[in-house]
Amino acid sequence: MIKRIVKMSFDPLKVNDFLAVYKENWTFIRNFEGCSHVELLQGENEKNIFFTYSLWQSEKHLNAYRDSELFAKVWGKTKILFNDKPQAWTVNEVKF
């Protein structure tokens, strides 16, 4: 299981456009083979900053999604709304 965090910053005037794209597609992303969880988080003080947090069965599944038509469609509609370069991390939980 891998965890993926993506930080996205949007033009404040385009936040509603992004939310419409996300709302239209999140169930398709969530149901993509290998995805077991996806959620959208919004900055408390910076309402134009969003994070996606997703859980994938493997890097192979994440890469299959990133190479898919679904990703191309969603990313194509999303990236034009950015006001800063997005950042992404694949992370693992630290257990003690």
Q: What is the pLDDT of residues 17-31, one digit of tens each?
A: 999 999 999 999 999
Name the domain count of the chain.
1
Q: Could you list the residue range(s) of the whole structural domain that residue 28 is in?
A: 2-90
Q: What is the pTM of this model?
A: 0.92
Q: How far apart are CA 90 and CA 67, in angstroms?
A: 17
Residue 95 lies in a domain: no
Q: What CATH number is given to the structural domain containing 33?
A: 3.30.70.100
| Residue 14 in domain | yes
pLDDT at residue 93 is higher than 90: no
Give the integer Cα–Cα distance in Å for 96 and 80. Answer: 41
pLDDT level of residue 43 (50, 70, 90 thresholds): very high
Domain assignment present for 77: yes
Here the contacts of 26-32 (C-beta below 8 Å, separation 24 or greater) are: 28/70, 29/54, 29/65, 29/70, 29/74, 32/61, 32/64, 32/65, 32/68, 32/70
Cα–Cα distance, 16 to 10 (Å, whole number):
10
Q: Is residue 96 assigned to a domain?
A: no
Residue 68 pLDDT grade (very low, low, confident, very high; cuts 50, 70, 90): very high
